[in-house]
């Protein structure tokens, strides 16, 4: 580029929305990890909310059906709300495995869960409306910002497994439009108890009974994308099965990404009140965020095979649980040895909540770990382990809690990672 061209280049100005959008802390951390790996360092990357296909491949039957669908020429536009065969299959899947009775016309298919969440916000939220969401949680802050809504952020507590309670939400619901919650929770890997979710449902129903005719209701976005992955005695509950009246106010977020290790297949679905689903469809029509037709056709055929679905979910559940329990046992062993770490027993998803209470400790080089960023960097540099701090999910910047993801982890690597942590923690002084 010539000096003359450079001198004449205009000053570019973008929208205030784009200018002020906060970048992802997770992506920033991922960039740092990639740079270390590029330089030859061996890093145990436990940050990714994804699956390594070599460790957790998608179901063989699903893979084969995708190939067949492309070979059969299923490459044109799908229906705007998803191919009918898939919506029928999802309807059956929800009923048979989740006890939820929704017709194909009440189901909307999209290219994963993200467009669905965006369309829920765009459908329900007017500029200036209030959205309530707990932290830590995934991306509710960004969707609220993009919707030009006011946010009420509820900082949850470790003693409640970082799940919100009705008592925490109640002071803020008058005038609110949307409560956004998730179970099993990304990032904590914990779930609602029946009592706590019933309490939130009763709160919403009471608030809507109080509102005047013509006033916008208080809605609930219920993200249950990880619901098939629960462990031990943990039971997944949903608002509609607990309180049938919640059917009028609940919009679900769901899909194949997590239960079937199919994050790249990009088949998600939402279901809820017909008017809301229809308006969400209209929004997505303009965005064009459809799941590819071949993947939709293949997913429909796969979901119809209930035995294969049941077998795969049981298999992946067992394999994920084995890894989560392995890490949890390792952290509890470190804790018993006197190190200031902790973890919450895994309940769902692919995540373990872990704690490093080492703020204020000193490294061998004399550096004091004053902040959570210092702790995160120390774990990465010294233990070669990458974790996502809860502040990346909206929690306090000084929270000592982290998300540990096992989607790319081999079982045999767990003990060496615990040993690496032990070695790094031993080098610190109080």
Strands 268-271, 219-223: pairing is unpaired
Whether residue 428 is predicted with pLDDT greater than 70 in this model: the reply is yes
Neighbours of 55 (CB within 10 A): 15
Closest CA to 126 of 354, 279, 3: 279
**191/49 same-domain check:** no
Whether residue 118 is predicted with pLDDT greater than 90 in this model: the reply is yes
Does 10 fall in a domain? no
Where is average pLDDT lowest: 14-18, 262-266, 344-348?
14-18
Q: How high is the pLDDT of residue 25?
A: 76
Q: How high is the pLDDT of residue 37?
A: 85
412: exposed, middle or buried (C-beta count within 10 Å: 0-12, 13-18, 19+)?
Answer: exposed
Residue 99, domain CATH? 3.40.640.10
Neighbours of 96 (CB within 10 A): 13
Average pLDDT over residues 253-264: 98
Convert the pLDDT of each residue in 405-419 to its tens digit: 999 999 999 999 999
Whether residue 6 is predicted with pLDDT greater than 80 in this model: the reply is no
Q: How high is the pLDDT of residue 3?
A: 53
Average pLDDT over residues 170-192: 98
> Which of 268, 289, 305 is the last residue before a domain boundary?
305
**71/111 same-domain check:** yes
Convert the pLDDT of each residue in 227-249 to its tens digit: 999 999 999 999 999 999 999 99
The model's pTM: 0.95
Does 223 fall in a domain? yes
**325/298 same-domain check:** no
Q: How high is the pLDDT of residue 26?
A: 79
Convert the pLDDT of each residue in 310-341 to its tens digit: 999 999 999 999 999 999 999 999 999 999 99
- Could you give the number of structural domains in the chain? 2
**268/344 same-domain check:** no
Query: How would residue 226 be classed by pLDDT, with cut points 50, 70 and 90?
Result: very high
**112/211 same-domain check:** yes
> Which of 305, 335, 353 is the last residue before a domain boundary?
305
Beta carbons within 8 Å of 209's beta carbon, 6+ residues apart: none
**144/169 same-domain check:** yes
């Amino acid at each position: 580029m010539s000096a003359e061209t450079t001198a004449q280049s205009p000053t570019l100005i973008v929208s205030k929305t784009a200018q002020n959008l906060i970048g992802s802390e997770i992506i920033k951390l991922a960039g740092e990890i990639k740079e270390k790996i590029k330089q030859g360092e061996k890093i145990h990357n436990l940050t990714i909310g994804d699956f390594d296909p070599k460790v957790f491949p998608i179901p063989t039957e699903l893979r084969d059906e995708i190939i067949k669908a492309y070979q059969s020429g299923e490459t044109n536009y799908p229906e705007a709300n998803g191919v009918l065969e898939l919506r029928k299959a999802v309807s059956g899947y929800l009923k048979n495995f989740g006890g939820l009775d929704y017709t194909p016309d009440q189901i909307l298919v999209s290219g994963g869960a993200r467009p669905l969440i965006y369309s829920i916000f765009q459908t329900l939220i007017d500029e200036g409306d209030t959205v309530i969401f707990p932290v830590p949680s995934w991306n509710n802050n960004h969707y609220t910002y993009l919707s030009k809504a006011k946010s009420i952020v509820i900082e949850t507590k470790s003693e409640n497994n970082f799940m919100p309670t009705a008592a925490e939400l109640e002071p803020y619901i008058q005038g609110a439009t949307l409560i956004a919650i998730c179970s099993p929770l990304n990032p904590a890997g914990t779930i609602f108890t029946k009592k706590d979710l019933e309490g939130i449902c009763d709160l919403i129903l009471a608030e809507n009974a109080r509102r005047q005719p013509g006033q916008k209701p208080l809605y609930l976005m219920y993200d249950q994308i990880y619901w098939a992955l629960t462990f031990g005695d943990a039971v997944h509950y949903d608002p509609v099965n607990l309180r049938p009246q919640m059917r009028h106010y609940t919009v679900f977020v769901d899909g194949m990404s997590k239960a079937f290790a199919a994050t790249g297949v990009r088949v998600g679905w939402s279901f809820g009140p017909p008017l809301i689903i229809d308006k969400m469809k209209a929004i997505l029509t303009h965005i064009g965020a459809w799941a590819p037709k071949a993947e939709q056709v293949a997913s429909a055929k796969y979901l119809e095979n209930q035995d294969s679905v049941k077998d795969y979910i049981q298999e992946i559940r067992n394999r994920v649980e084995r890894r989560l329990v392995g890490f949890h046992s390792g952290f509890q062993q470190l804790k018993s040895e006197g190190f200031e770490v902790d973890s919450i027993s895994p309940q769902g998803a692919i995540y373990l909540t872990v704690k490093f209470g080492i703020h204020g400790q000193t490294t061998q080089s004399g550096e004091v770990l004053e902040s959570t960023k210092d702790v995160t960097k120390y774990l990465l540099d010294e233990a070669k382990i990458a974790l996502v701090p809860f502040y990346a999910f909206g929690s306090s910047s000084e929270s000592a809690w982290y998300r540990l993801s096992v989607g790319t982890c081999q079982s045999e690597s767990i003990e060496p990672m615990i040993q690496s942590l032990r070695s790094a923690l031993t080098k610190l002084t109080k």
